[in-house]
Each structure stands twice: as C-alpha cells, then as structure tokens.
With several copies, the nearest count.
Chain A
Amino acid sequence: MTTTSTYDVHTVRAAFPILQRTVHGGKPLVYLDHAATAQKPQAVLDAIGHYYRTTNSNVHRGAHALSAEATAAFEDARAVIAGYVGAARNEEIVFTSGTTDGLNLLAATVLTSAQPGDEILLTEMEHHANIVPWQMVAQQRGLAIRVVPVRDDGTISVDDVASLLTERTKVFACAHVSNVLGTINPIAEWSALCQANGTRCIVDGAQAIQHCSVDVQALGCDAYVFSAHKLFGPTGFGVLWARYDFLDALPPYRGGGAMIDRVTFSGTTFNAIPMRFEAGTPHIEGAIGTAAAIRWLQEIDTTERIAHEDDLLRHTTAAMTAMDGLTILGTASHKVGIISFVVDGIHASDIGTLLDNMGIAIRAGHHCTQPLHQRFGIDASARASFALTSTREEADMFVEGLAKAIRMLR
C-alpha cells in the first residue's frame, strides 16, 4: 500500500465501535454499504451522550443557563458546519432533517415565481430525492422537466448541459457525486454555465460530503444540501447551504415556532434567515453530533484519506474487471469509492444475500435511481461502497466472496 503509506487506516478504524462486531455467527463484519449510511466514530457518540447528560434544553428560548449552553453549542455547530463547507456567513446554513428535506424545501420555495412552461433541468443520474420534489412542483405549476443524459461510462458531457440550458431553465438540480456510478461531476463548470444563463444551480451533495473536500465557493453553485448520517453524524439531520442573497429572498417553507417574527390571527411576519427556515424545536443533538463528526474528520489529513479511498477503488476495480461476465456501472476517471455492478444472468439480490452470509454487507436494488437503471436497461444492481475506514483486506474479502457467490449461483 505504497500510495497511502502515512495513512493509518487501522487507527482510524478503531474509532468505530460497530466495525468490531461480527454477524451471522461470528463472521467479522465487512461493511461496504457506506453510501447508504456512514458509521459513527466514538467521538460522535460521546458528543451525543454528553449533550443529553449535561446540556439538553430547548434553544433560543429559555432565560436560563441550560438553554444558554445548549444555544451556544447549537450555534457553534452551525459555525463548524459553515466553516467545513466554506460558507461565507453562518446564516447561510439552514438545518434540515436530511438531503431529502433540503431538496424539498428548495423545490417548494425556489420556483414560486416560475411561469407555466419554465424548465427544471435534472440529470439522468439523479437520486429520487432530487427528482420527485421537482416533479411535484412541476406538476403544481405546469413546469417542464428536462434531463441531461448519462453516457455509457457514467459521465455527463458538459456540452449536453450547455445545450439543455435554455432561457426558460430556472433551476439545474444535479448530484455532486452519483450514489450509483461514483462519478464526481464537474460542478464548478456546470455552475458557471448556469450563472451565465441566469439559472439557479442546486447541488445534491449527499454522496460527495463523505468523500470529497467540499468548498461551496469553489463550486460556485447557489445551494448545496447533504445529510449528516452520511458524514458520520446522527440520523434525522441535514444541512442546506445557500448563498446569502438567494436564501434571503426565499419565502418560508414550514410554519411554526422560531421561524416567525410576529403572529396574529390576521397575519404573520417572518424571522430572518436561517431561523425563517427552521420552524419548531430543531434537532439539537443532530447539530451537535454533526459538528463532532466534522471535528473528528478534520483531525485526519484530507489528501491522505482521499488517496486511501482511491487506492481501494482502483485495486478493487482492477480485480473485478478481470471477472467473467461482470460489468461495472460507472467507469469515470474521476470517481469516489462506489462500485456498482451487474453480473450476466445473476440477480444482484442473490449476490447480496450470499455475500451477507459471508459477513460482507453490500447493497442490491435500484438504489433510489430507477431512471438511471432504466437508462442502462436493468432493474437492479449490486453496490459495494468504501469509506475512509475500509481496508485492502476488506476489499480482497469482498472480491473473493463475490467470486464465490458467482460460482454458487452459476
């Protein structure tokens, strides 16, 4: 492992209690489903426990010490998250319940002045979370959905993006990283095209946030959303970053406490951002746990961990490419450690079941990307996904297990 000589994966791995467990009667767990959800380092569990044991209180409300401490920790989390993605101001960070929630918020608020016939541009590789909310608003307002095609290698031609951006395109909503193909899309290029065209560029960062170093200024997009559970943080929490002026001009989404300025039965005025979009008691633990996850991650050298994951990707891809009748979906040169594949005459679910019995957790199905699967003429695929905790040994166990499963199924 010469490429990752100073990266000590076993130390990083030791931070995750769940990775020590066994399944199916004593087999060590080989967790290769990190694209579905990331595991949590002890630092995150400690932060959650500490919050509830010492600080728990409603935020922005009480006049007492506990509430002040909780509010400080909560707003400190916002600052940590803002810093992590390169937000210009803390107010640009809206807390949501996840990527899905963030995309729904944007779909419901960004197009309120769109006219029938206006267009929303998506890509063929989008997750259902970045399709269905736009379909719902398109249906309500008579908007059209256009789709940028995916090429055989799992990439998208920038010319296709350019030619599908019309003067009616109000929004281009696209994944930073595909959860099936692993492709890292050139968001900076796409954002520039959008900006020149007067189109809002909204990025689904659900997969990118775990693997890439995300800087919203360099990406140049208008909004970026992700889920904490894929960033080693707690479930039920997510982040929406949007450029200040853009966010500030959006109407409210959910109504309730904290998002208001003044409520009367004859009319209500709304609070400033980000509070305007955070109705009700927020997921305080979620914010604090996510900040802990980021702090933990920041202890690790970014370049080295990305190189480590890249090594796993290339090593495993090479071994799989040699396997008979196996096709990898997504062979972009610029991709993260996600390998989706199909095997001639064998159903992905059968592969998943047999690997599971060997202790190896992968995923089988459509991965919430039915249109992408249709584009490749398939119903389902199998997917192995690595994280910074994955090892070469795990990669090899997966490859051997896969070969064995294929033998059993042929």
Chain B
Amino acid sequence: MSPSAAINQLADDFALFSDWEDKYAYIIDLGKHLRPYPEQYRTDEFKVRGCQSQVWLHPHVEGNTVHFDADSDAVIVRGLIALLMRVYDGATAKEILDTPTDFVRTLGLADHLSQNRANGLAAMLKQIHLYALAVQSRLESASS
C-alpha cells in the first residue's frame, strides 16, 4: 500500500473512535503486536533523541524500497510506531519524501497525544525523512 493510501485507511479507522479511551485501547493493542525489533540494533547508534521513553529505529534498503525496524519501551509509543510503519515501511524513498508529515495532526491524533509525545514522533519522522533523503540522493547520483 502506498503511504497516501495507508494514511487514508488510518483516517477511516480513527474516524470510528468516539472517545479517547477506545482510541488509546487501539493504539496500545497495536503497540503490543509490533513486529519484534532485532536485538543487534538495540544500541545507542539507533536510538532516537527527543523522546521521553526510549526509541530505537533501524532503517535499511531492500531493492528499491525502504524498510524500518523500530521499537520503544513504552507501549503507547510502540503503538504510534506501528502506525508510522503502516505508512512508511516498504515505501520508496521518493514516496516517503512526498508524504506530508503533518498527517499525524490531521489524523486527529495530535488532540490526544501531548506535544511531548508528538515531539518524540517528530524526531522519528525527521529520522525517517533524513534516511529517505540520503537514499534518494544516492539513487540520483548513481543514475546521473
């Protein structure tokens, strides 16, 4: 699924929740089922700065798509990571760069997620974008 399709689907999912408790129950559930993080990448190198809880992000390229492993010690953050993964994991660098990062806000998540949490997310988003940028510019320089 392309990032924009994923965002649309998330928007549909979130529209179903009438109160914050259901929304969080869902996010917590996502967090509990996040794909296990490869232990060899649980190092300082892959830690994301700017989060209250600890967050790790390991990006890598397979063919022409970008993939992410990610984890946190806080389950709500893991739930949010799971949401981000639906949008970004397996997309092309170009798709990632073309996706406006404010979908977190437009999803209505920002209402309930404190700015601090959002900052943690923002730091992760920034890392994802930086990585996509690096991949993309390598592709371009290789093809030119």
Interface size on A, residues (CB 8 A): 28
Interface string of A329-373 (1 = CB under 8 A from B): 000000000000000001101101110110000001100000000
The complex places the Cα of A282 from the Cα of B105 at a distance, in Å, of: 28
Determine whether B28 belongs to the interface, using a CB cutoff of 8 Å to chain A. yes
The 6 closest A-B pairs by CB, nearest first: A68-B115, A347-B74, A68-B114, A349-B53, A349-B74, A349-B52
* A347-B116 in contact given A24-B20, A272-B49, A408-B24 (Cβ < 8 Å): no
* A365-B52 in contact given A349-B77, A350-B75 (Cβ < 8 Å): yes
Nearest CB of A to B48, in Å: 13
Q: Which residues of A contact B52 (CB under 8 A)?
A: 63, 349, 352, 364-365, 380
Tell me if A64 and B76 are in contact (CB < 8 A). Answer: no
Further contacts, 10 of them, CB under 8 A, given A347-B73, A380-B53: A349-B74, A350-B53, A350-B76, A353-B24, A353-B114, A357-B21, A379-B54, A380-B52, A408-B21, A409-B28
Q: Which residues of A contact B28 (CB under 8 A)?
A: 350, 408-409
* A349-B114 in contact given A272-B49, A380-B53 (Cβ < 8 Å): no
Tell me if A71 and B115 are in contact (CB < 8 A). Answer: yes
Determine whether A263 belongs to the interface, using a CB cutoff of 8 Å to chain B. no
Residue pairs across A and B with Cβ atoms less than 8 A apart, 15 shown, are: A25-B111, A62-B116, A63-B52, A63-B117, A68-B116, A71-B116, A71-B119, A347-B53, A349-B74, A353-B24, A354-B24, A357-B24, A357-B112, A408-B24, A408-B25
Determine whether A69 belongs to the interface, using a CB cutoff of 8 Å to chain B. yes
Chain B, interface size category, equals: 20 to 34
Q: Which residues of A contact B20 (CB under 8 A)?
A: 24, 357
Determine whether A391 belongs to the interface, using a CB cutoff of 8 Å to chain B. no
Q: Which residues of B contact A357 (CB under 8 A)?
A: 20-21, 24, 112
CB neighbors of B among A13-71 (8 A): 24-25, 60, 62-65, 67-69, 71
Nearest CB of B to A92, in Å: 18
Q: Which residues of B contact A65 (CB under 8 A)?
A: 114
The complex places the Cα of A364 from the Cα of B74 at a distance, in Å, of: 11
